[in-house]
Amino acid sequence: MAGTLEFSPDDRYNAFITTCRQAPFSDGALAGTAVAVKDNISTKGIQTTCASKILEGYVPPYDAYVVELLRQAGAAIVGKTNMDEFGMGTTTETSAFGPTQNPADPSRVPGGSSGGSAAAVAAGLVPMALGTDTGGSIRCPAAFCGIVGLKPTYGRVSRYGLIAYANSLEQIGPMAQTVEDVSKLMSVIARYDPRDSTMIDRPYDHRPSAEIKGLRVGIPEEYFGEGVDPRVAESVRDAVGILEGLGAETVPVSIPGMRHALAAYYVICTSEASSNLARFDGVRYGPAVDTRKSWHEAYQDLRQELFGAEVRRRIMLGTFALSAGYAGKYYAKAQIARRNIREDFERAFCDADVIAGPTMPTTAFRLGERSDPISMYLSDILTAPANLAGIPAISVPCSTVDGLPVGLQIMGRQFEDERVVDAAFAYEQEVRA
Amino acid sequence: MKTIVGLEIHVQLSTATKLFCGCSTDYRDDEPNTHCCPVCLALPGALPRLNKRAVEYGLRVAKALDMKVLEESEFARKNYFYPDLPKAYQITQYDKPLAVEGTVEIEDDEGHEKIVRITRVHLEEDPGRLVHVAGGSKYSLVDYNRSGIPLLEIVTEPDMRSPQEARRFLNKLRTVLEYLGVFDGEREGGLRVDANISLEGSERVEVKNISSYKGVEKALTFEVTRQKNLLRRGQRVTRETRHFMEGRGITTSSRSKEEEHDYRYFPEPDLRPLRVADWVAAIDLPELPTARKNRFMTQYGISLNHARTLTGDPKLADFYEAVAHVDPVLAATWVADTLLGELNYRDMGIAAVPVERIAELLALLRSETITDTAGVQVLREMLDTCAAGKPCEPPAMIVEREGLARATGDEFTQVVEKVIAANPHAVEDYRAGKKGALNFLVGQVMKETRGRADPRELGKIVSEYIDTGGV
Amino acid sequence: MITESDIEHIAELADIGISKDEVPEFTTQFNAILDYFEVLDTVEGESAPDAGIVNVFRDDEPRPCLSQEKTLENAGSTENGFIKAPRVM
């Protein structure tokens, strides 16, 4: 079975940057399935922009490994989804191609940065999509839009072809309406790729199981405290109660390093970003630099004009955090904080098999609501720790607050993606039954 | 006033592929931008993959220079903008280099052995190549074929005391690298040097961009003179970076902005650390120049000078060893003095010379079938043939064809008689005690026999002939 | 405290243009963010080597390169097989 999928969606939420009206597909596990790909994942022959003007018109001459795998599995790649510019945001509002709206409530943001992928799935335009998660960018929009999203263990999915924002933190991951589809997409993309030196050869071959009797679920106090909307906390506690009803037992755990997590996360991601985004100079790709100007002036003008404000702010923050005289205070301290957090999780996972909490401290914001950087950054507090620790984390919908979706987040030990999928599956099966 | 020199040498390692991607390094004479891939072009999303052989080559050098290989080393990003640097950072090694603390033995200016300490060696990638368009164009052209070529940076302590010592150090280092088979000496720009030079008590100047090892002595000599002149005039030497203009043999001040660089190093998150210290024990080093030089002296009984020259290039040393069986001392003289001189004159490499033919030539010389003078003629003819790309005749055939065999017996006597008869004045002068007259007569015989006679032997025969009035 | 001239210096290091009227806002935002980062001063512990996999290599075997055409395809401006860049003085 092979052919072409006609794809002409009613993209009323601005979920896509590029759509492929005639998407070829072939035989395989995903034969003929429409899959949307976040626009920071390279697709050979299809424009890949990272939602930035600086990459407008860039057509990669190669496929990211996950895209190669999708094609091999027979999927039809139907489009490239909207996102925060270079993944730098929690709302998909920093896209150079306009914000995406939340299908659950179009006056609200879909979350970010993989907001386009989440909205495309939530609106039923595609059954599955790929997102990327640097500090919560899969789980946040999954929670805000009421779908399922998995951030895999660091090193489990190849980053080859993912346009880097923060290399040491990010992973590509699956997003879908159901845990089963997330698991199915994960088993396609989690294959060893020697081109990503940070990978470990642990392919994911798993069918979700709802059997969680005896599963020890860690409840970290830090995930239910200050800054978390009490109604969100309440609905997540209810969800944990359902897990208990299925035979899981809860244990209190603590991640004391959480108080440093967000600062450490922002120092690390902006530092890496400042270096990663330095290559965008209009020479080899993207809108052309003005070669009549002197080179510093030419680069500065191009980068001022074509990068959005948040991207420029993060590049400058990272530049500062690495600069002479400050690297010890910021970058080096952030690395220590990161290791402390990783060790906190390791300790917690001695007592618990998975850790559960809310994905986001609140429900989806109104469009334009979070305009100052700090208040936006603070909303990553519950998701960024899993990226710092490199552990798998899934967001699965659990009830609503004021009609807006709330996400239950389940984190697991490194390379125990299967276990978090099972826990999420058990919950989903129970509440959907 | 003591001169203090330290060097940073960038060596292109002779791997088949680039440091972080599978693009071939053999781009000589190829079109621009034909040895590129997403990785070395810094296309968005591409990831580096470390070439194992580059690490092995680095370790070979570390072992040869007696260095300490770090338990853990890692790559770091050196962030700066320059149009030849596609990622706007160079993947290099910063605070965890491959190896530290080594030594190289050289001769100082008095001919004594001295040690130059090596601070560190580390791996890094070469940037692309900028071509400046002539005619006042406002833009540059970039070729990324060189982007990602593996470099080994070797940093010395400031242990050299003159431009000559620096040259000798580089010669020695280059020889070691060639012995190790990690470096192709014939590759243009394969070895590039930044030199730090100061006069004791004065500020240090960094001279960048010296792209040949011969240029280093020139650049440093220029700097010593320039700095001494400044001090003589009561001025101070400014701490700065200067560029060497190879063509003009001078250094010029570069904009001071370069010294304000803030490279914002941090560990390369796309690569994993190296733990390779325990690989060193298994590395089998070839015999290195110093050991080989010593062996040549004891095994072949040749002079220090010949041994040093012959071992200065591994290919030359191999060549010598292949012909030494004929007569080691004779072979040393002919290879180190005559052959090398003739090759330099023709700008030829030793690789183009057929070993067997030279061995045959040496055998002719050893058996006194031909004289040294005739030997040089035969050698020249052989080399000219090789240079023209034609098969080289056996030397015996050249001797035969050209009639270059040593003159003996009647032929010899006839020529002597003829010359004496034709130059009565010179004979008179000789009899009157003018020794120069004998040289003239011998020269005439040599000319007549086209070098086929041995001049020393000839002198004896001519004088005897005149003294005794006949044969 | 980060001053407006610090902001201009950082922009220069990052090779990002910043207009005069953006500087005050960037400065205010930077200081708010850096205030938040102050919490890192309370981080305890020593830096330690990165745990995890080591020695990840590729064999020194040539692989196909992109064609010159593909290499130049996305470049804004090319000349005789070269890619044009601003001139370095």
Number of structural domains chain B divides into: 3
Instruction: List, by residue number, the catalytic residues of A.
Output: 38, 113, 137
- Whether C74 is covered by a domain: the verdict is no
| Mean pLDDT across C2-8 | 95
Chain B (351-390) residues lying within 8 Å, Cβ to Cβ, of chain C: none
Rounded-to-integer distance, Cα B166 and Cα B224, Å = 13
Tell me which residue range forms the domain holding B393. 289-402
B471: pLDDT strictly greater than 50: no
Range in A115-119, A180-184, B355-359 the model is least confident about:
B355-359
Nearest to B308 by CA among B296, B300, B298, B318: B296
Distance (Å, whole) CA B208 – CA B221? 14
Query: Given a cut of 60, is residue C67 above it in pLDDT?
Result: yes
Q: How many separate domains does chain C show?
A: 1
The pLDDT of B323-348, averaged and rounded, is 92
End-to-end CA gap in chain A: 33
CB contact under 8 A, A291 and C77: yes
* Interchain pair B87, A279: CB under 8 A: yes
Could you say which of B402, B428, B448 is where a domain stops?
Answer: B402
Q: How close, in Å, is residue C21 to chain B by CA atoms? A: 25
Q: Tell me if chain A has a CB within 8 Å of the CB of C67.
A: no
Subunit contact A295:C46, Cβ cutoff 8 A:
no
pLDDT at C1 over 60: yes
Q: Which residue, A333, A320, A339, A338, is CA-closest to A271?
A: A320
Say yes or no for a CB contact (<8 Å) between A296 and B81: yes
- Indicate if B353 and B314 belong to the same structural domain: yes
Domains annotated on chain A, with CATH: 16-189 (3.90.1300.10)
What integer pLDDT is reported at residue B449 of this predicted model?
Answer: 76
Span B57-66, pLDDT tens digits:
999 999 999 9
Closest A-chain CA to C29: A373
The pLDDT assigned to B211 comes to 84
State the Cα–Cα distance between residues A128 and B460, nearest whole angstrom.
104
Quick one: pLDDT band at residue B72, thresholds 50, 70, 90?
very high
Residue B453, pLDDT above cutoff 80? no
| CATH, residue B459 | 1.10.10.410
B318 with B429, same domain: the answer is no
| Whether residues B225 and B107 fall in one domain | yes
Span A374-398, pLDDT tens digits: 989 999 999 999 999 999 999 999 9
Looking at the structure, tell me whether residues B189 and B106 fall in a common domain: yes
Would the pLDDT of A88 be above 90? Answer: yes
The answer to which of A226-230, B176-180, B410-414 has the lowest mean pLDDT is B410-414
- B297 and B253 in a single domain? The answer is no
Distance from CA of C81 to the nearest CA of A (A): 12
* pLDDT tens sequence across B417-448: 888 888 888 888 888 878 788 888 888 887 77
Q: Which domain holds residue C37?
A: 4-42
Whole-number pLDDT of residue B298: 95
- Measure CB to CB from residue B264 to each of A50, A62, A323 and give the nearest one: A323
Q: Is the pLDDT of residue B259 over 60?
A: no
Same domain, B165 and B305: no
- B142 contact residues in A (CB cutoff 8 A): 283
Query: Could you tell me the pLDDT band of residue B470, with boundaries at 50, 70 and 90?
Result: low
Q: Identify whether residues B382 and B423 lie together within a single domain.
A: no
Average pLDDT along chain B:
89
Are B390 and B459 members of one domain? no
Quick check: is C22 in a domain?
A: yes
B142–C83 C-beta distance less than 8 A: yes
Whether residues B370 and B237 fall in one domain: no
Q: What mean pLDDT do residues C66-78 have? A: 94
Rounded to 5 degrees, φ, ψ at B234 are 80, 10
State the amino acid at position B251 in one-letter form.
Answer: T
Given a cut of 80, whether residue B457 has pLDDT beyond it is: no
Select, from the ranges A281-295, A353-367, B433-447, the one with the highest average predicted confidence (pLDDT). Answer: A353-367
Whether residues B118 and B216 fall in one domain:
yes
For residue C10, tell me if it sits in a domain.
yes
The minimal CB distance from B47 to the residues A58, A159, A299 is found for A159
pLDDT at position B399 is: 85
- Contact list in B for residue C64 (CB cut-off 8 A) is 22
With an 8 Å Cβ cutoff, is B352 touching chain A?
A: no
For A357, counting Cβ atoms within 10 Å of its Cβ (0-12 exposed, 13-18 middle, 19+ buried), the class is buried
Position A47 pLDDT exceeds 60: yes
Give the residue on B whose Cα is nearest the Cα of A323.
Answer: B264
Cβ–Cβ gap A61/B43 under 8 Å? yes
Q: What is the CATH number of the domain that holds C9?
A: 1.10.20
Query: What is the structure's pLDDT at B29?
Result: 87
Residue B255: what pLDDT?
Answer: 64
Mean pLDDT (whole number) for B372-385: 89
Contact C54 B274 (CB under 8 A): yes
What integer pLDDT is reported at residue B346 of this predicted model?
A: 87
Among A98-102, B259-263, B287-291, name the one with the lowest average pLDDT: B259-263
- The distance of B248 to chain C (nearest Cα, Å) reads 19
Final residue in a domain of this structure, among B402, B432, B451: B402
| Interchain contact A271–B (C-beta under 8 A) | yes
pLDDT, residue B188, reads 74
Picking from C56, C60, C66, the nearest residue to B53 by CB comes out as: C60
Q: Which residue of A has its CA nearest to B271?
A: A197
Residue A48 near residue A40, CB atoms below 8 Å: yes
* DSSP-derived pairing of the beta strands B205-210 and B240-245: parallel
Bridge-based pairing of strands A216-220 and A249-253 is parallel
Give the pLDDT score at A424. Answer: 98
The confidence band for B467, taking pLDDT boundaries of 50, 70 and 90, is: confident
Give me the percent of chain C exceeding a pLDDT of 70.
Answer: 97
Look at residues B250, B282, B314 and tell me which one is the last residue of a structural domain.
Answer: B282
| Mean pLDDT across A274-291 | 95
Assess if residue C64 is contained within a domain.
no
Q: How far apart are CA A344 and CA B153, in angstroms?
A: 40
Q: How far is A234 from chain B (nearest CA, A)?
A: 39
* Chain A residues touching C17 at Cβ < 8 A: 300-301, 303-305
Instruction: Kindly report, residue by residue over B203-244, the tens digit of the pLDDT.
Output: 899 998 888 778 899 999 999 999 999 999 998 888 888 989
- pLDDT, tens digit, for every residue of B80-135? 999 999 999 999 999 999 999 999 999 888 888 899 999 999 999 999 999 887 77
- A339-361: average pLDDT: 97
Contact A316 C7 (CB under 8 A): yes
What dihedral angle (degrees, nearest 10) is formed by the CA atoms of A289, A293, A295, A301? -60
| pLDDT tier at B409, thresholds 50, 70, 90 | low
